[in-house]
Amino acid sequence: MIAFESKSPGARIDRETNGRIVEDLLRRLFPICRSITGEGLRTTLKTISEYVPLKIIEIPTGTQVFDWQIPDEWNIRDAYIKNEAGERIVDFRQSNLHVLNYSTPIHQKMTLEELRPHLHTLPAQPNAIPYLTSYYKRDWGFCLTHHQYLALSPGEYEVCIDGTLAPGSLTLAESILPGEASHQILFSTYCCHPSLANNELSGPIITTLLYQYLAALPKRRFTYHFYYGPETIGALAFLALHGKRLKENLLAGFVVTCCGDRGSFTYKQVRNPNNALDRVVLHVLKHSGVEFKAVPYFPTGSDERQYSSPGFDLPIGSLMRSTYGQYPEYHTSLDNLDFISIDSLLETLELYVDCVYALEHNLRYENLCPFGEPMLSKYVSCPRTSYTKKSRDIVHIVAESSHPHIGLTIA
């Protein structure tokens, strides 16, 4: 962990205040069973709105969004598998990962053989419950540890998924912090995973802390746009609302995810290689002293898949710690509160703040006296006589700073 004191933009992070917000959000949000629609998602956004003034948007089931349609809304109250003794051997109340996300309701008795095709495990990680979904194909199922699975004995089981999958709406939220320019910087994060800590709760938490940091700045050069909502279908809906304007105004953006584990950093670069964001983030990473690697854009991943699709081609990167799919705890019950740490989250926050700082200060100076040299003696105290080396140095500095190609360009 880098000491905050050693770094000037990062020094502005108040470790105590931010640490307290992290603890509060983890405690309240981790237990919720979220999905791409439903009350879990709504409760999550309502909780975050205590820190970020969110505008909540509901999009009805059936609405066409590009090549997609908003699906039915999913809600769940309870789910279990009971053995013949009436014991809950698989229990949604112990882990909301036990239910295949978006399962259709069921309440029925069946033999082990009938049940088996609906059970999902990870034989290679026999203590982990996998996290699985079936958003667009009607199905029901249970996820359990492989040890649980192996312990099942033949017999009759009572299977219950007490929920609804019916027309409703998809919920997403946004917030805008205006700046001097209408050029936007986007932070996009998703809130559709149940009790999973690094992927995904770390993303909404960092985004929330960034909002607080930016809101407290005395002034902002750029306008900051924040998206919270479901992955994929929510990002598509957000693009349906704002894509055209983002194409005109978006200067840079981040998909904020996988920010809390103890691994080293990975920056997934923008699809279109010639952009200011990659230069800014790599500059920050190089000067931060943290261990990191930069990877070029690849077409799988998170919502950068939508933002970077050829029709939008937005300059979106993703600054993560361990990358989704690359660490064994990913999408299992092992991606829990022990897997992340407040220190790791705050270190990631610090780097995001440094990136914002670099973007805000990335300026090109304009020469106000381009025709001939400025008359130096009007501006600086020059030595009287012409032979000293000193006066030449001053000329040199002025002439250099009048060069039109200094600094990174934004546009």
Contacting positions for its own copies (CB under 8 A): 65-68, 100, 120, 130-134, 136-137, 139, 232, 235-236, 239, 243, 298-300, 305-306, 309-312, 331, 367, 369-375, 377-378, 382, 384-387, 392, 395-396, 399-400, 402-404
| Strand-pair partners of 59 | 170
> Least distance from C-beta 51 to its own copies, angstroms?
29
**Minimum distance, C-beta of residue 116 to its own copies, in the bound complex (Å):** 15
Q: Give the nearer residue to its own copies in terms of CB position, either 18 or 188.
A: 188
Shortest CB 28 distance to its own copies, Å: 26
Q: How far is the CB of 268 from its own copies (least distance, A)?
A: 14
Identity of the residue, 13 or 334, whose beta carbon is nearer to its own copies in the bound complex: 334
Nearer to its own copies, 30 or 312 (CB): 312
Measure the CA–CA gap between 256 and 189, rounded to whole angstroms: 5
Q: Are 407 and 362 in contact (CB under 8 A)?
A: yes
Residue at 80: amino acid letter: Y
Q: How far is the CB of 354 from its own copies (least distance, A)?
A: 31
Identity of the amino acid at 278: D
By beta-carbon proximity to its own copies, the closer residue of 22 and 172 is 172
CA–CA gap between residue 7 and residue 16 (Å, rounded): 17
Tell me how many degrees the CA angle 326-324-295 measures, rounded to the nearest 5: 75
Residue closest to 345 by CA, chosen among 63, 11, 44, 13: 13
Half-sphere exposure of residue 231, counting CA atoms within 13 Å on the CB side? Answer: 23
| Contact status, residue 36 vs residue 192, Cβ threshold 8 Å | yes
Which two tokens mark 391?
A: 């006066």
Count of all residues that appear for the chain in the document: 411
For its own copies, give the closer residue by CB, 51 or 312.
312
Residue 20 vs 392, nearer CB to its own copies: 392
Q: Provide the minimum distance between the beta carbon of 94 and its own copies in the complex, in angstroms, as a whole number.
A: 21
Who's near 87: CB < 8 A, 6+ residues apart?
Answer: none
User: Residue 69 or residue 264: which is nearer to its own copies going by CB?
Assistant: 69
Work out how close the CB of 293 gets to its own copies at its nearest, in angstroms, rounded to a whole number: 20
3-class state of residue 138 by DSSP: coil
Sign of the C-alpha dihedral computed for residues 70, 38, 301 and 247 taken in this order = positive
